[in-house]
Amino acid sequence: MAGNPAEQRIREEVVHLVKNLRALNGGPTDVSQLIMNAVSNVTCHMLFGKRYDYEDKNFRNLLQSCHRMMTGLQSSAMLTYIPILWYSPMPFKNELRHHYQKVIDYTKRVVEECRLAESDEFLPTSFVDAYLEWERDHENTKCEGVENSKRFLGEPEHLSVTVLNLFTTGTTITATSIVWTLLFLCQNQDVQERCFNEIKDNIGLEVAPAYHDMRRLPYIEAVTMEVHRRASLMPLGLPHAVSDDVEVYGYTIPKGTMVMSNLWAVHMDEKNWERPEKFDPSRFLDDNGPRDCIASQFAEMEFFLMLSRLVQVFKFKLPDDDLVPSADGNPGLINAPDNFKIICASRFSDDF
């Protein structure tokens, strides 16, 4: 039994994902949509207590907008640094607005549905529920701390935009991480088999891995870290503002300056990584065993539970007649791989 409600919810969704992957009957398929559905259902359940059927076309289209918005956002960075470009004709601006509007309209609609569903016996079962409960409990309360929070949280768009941020990042980053992992495992069959054998030897094949099993699977933990290094999921991170004047290598950066970090350059620096272009999880293993557990937050727990179960149940490979996808990806705010098909061959037929 999972140790907490979040873990239980993830494991329940993994059952749906495995069922849908098995239904492919080993045919070459681009599974990115199924991965997006599974991850977004976990996110949706945590945010507003609902999930969607994998065949729901409207929701699938929404996820595509979410994905395109996140992968295309980096293109708009130049507009931040050169504001006059906002007034020049650039096709990606209209596309970005279109996808953003679809996602924000969805979050506004769901938030309003949750608000209308409130009752006197209202019990919070999701993030939105808890937010609305706070609003209701402090509606008539007057004290400095509460007043400050009310001014911040009471902004008309605040809840919808917060939900949008959690929905997009909670879905796109984790889903893209898993898709990258499947690609690397297909391209490195020895790594995939070592992951499977580690699960078989330490967990067995009669029970799905649980979150507390992660420390017993150091190689899978190393694979997780190597995926994030090699894929550089957010190549330039997120923009930050300098809080105070600071000097870096002789250069003065004034307070308020927007800065970005080139994470891709760090991940691919030959001074720090031998053959950085090679996918090699062993670089994260040493004689002392696994490094500090990175699965301390919800997204890492979700990634581990989904990945370990998929490796336990399926053997993944690329179709023989397909071109090998590039490992360079398509850098945006999120670095996503090219579209590719894989074969999901069940290792056994029984569900558990």
Where are the domains positioned within the chain? 24-346
The confidence band for 1, taking pLDDT boundaries of 50, 70 and 90, is very low
Predicted local distance difference test score (pLDDT) of residue 288: 55
Candidate from 42-46, 318-322, 327-331, 344-348 with smallest mean pLDDT: 327-331
The mean per-residue pLDDT over the stretch 336-348 comes to: 92
More confident residue, 151 or 94: 94
Q: How far is 135 from 139, CA to CA, in rounded Å?
A: 6
CATH 3.40.50.150 fits 24-346, yes or no: no
Q: How far is 78 from 120, CA to CA, in rounded Å?
A: 49
Q: pLDDT tens digit string along 276-288?
A: 999 999 999 875 5
More confident residue, 350 or 158: 158
Q: How far is 205 from 104, CA to CA, in rounded Å?
A: 42
Average pLDDT over the chain reads 84
User: Look-up: residue for tokens 């699938």?
Assistant: 60
The confidence band for 30, taking pLDDT boundaries of 50, 70 and 90, is very high
The mean per-residue pLDDT over the stretch 254-278 comes to: 92
Q: How far is 166 from 300, CA to CA, in rounded Å?
A: 15
Give, as one character, the DSSP assignment of residue 342: B
Q: How far is 216 from 207, CA to CA, in rounded Å?
A: 14
The mean per-residue pLDDT over the stretch 314-329 comes to: 86
More confident residue, 284 or 150: 284
The confidence band for 343, taking pLDDT boundaries of 50, 70 and 90, is very high
The confidence band for 168, taking pLDDT boundaries of 50, 70 and 90, is confident
Take residue 162 and report the two structure tokens written for it. Answer: 């917060």
User: Look-up: residue for tokens 């991170």?
Assistant: 237
Residue 43 φ/ψ, nearest 5 degrees: -60, -45
State yes or no: pLDDT of 124 exceeds 90.
Answer: no
The mean per-residue pLDDT over the stretch 151-168 comes to: 74
CB contact at 8 A, 283 and 274: yes
Predicted local distance difference test score (pLDDT) of residue 290: 47
Q: How far is 4 from 213, CA to CA, in rounded Å?
A: 14
Q: pLDDT tens digit string along 201-231?
A: 999 999 999 999 999 999 999 999 999 999 9
Candidate from 85-89, 91-95, 186-190 with smallest mean pLDDT: 85-89
State yes or no: pLDDT of 244 exceeds 70.
Answer: yes
- Find residue 317's DSSP bridge partners: 343
Q: How far is 199 from 217, CA to CA, in rounded Å?
A: 7
Predicted local distance difference test score (pLDDT) of residue 293: 41
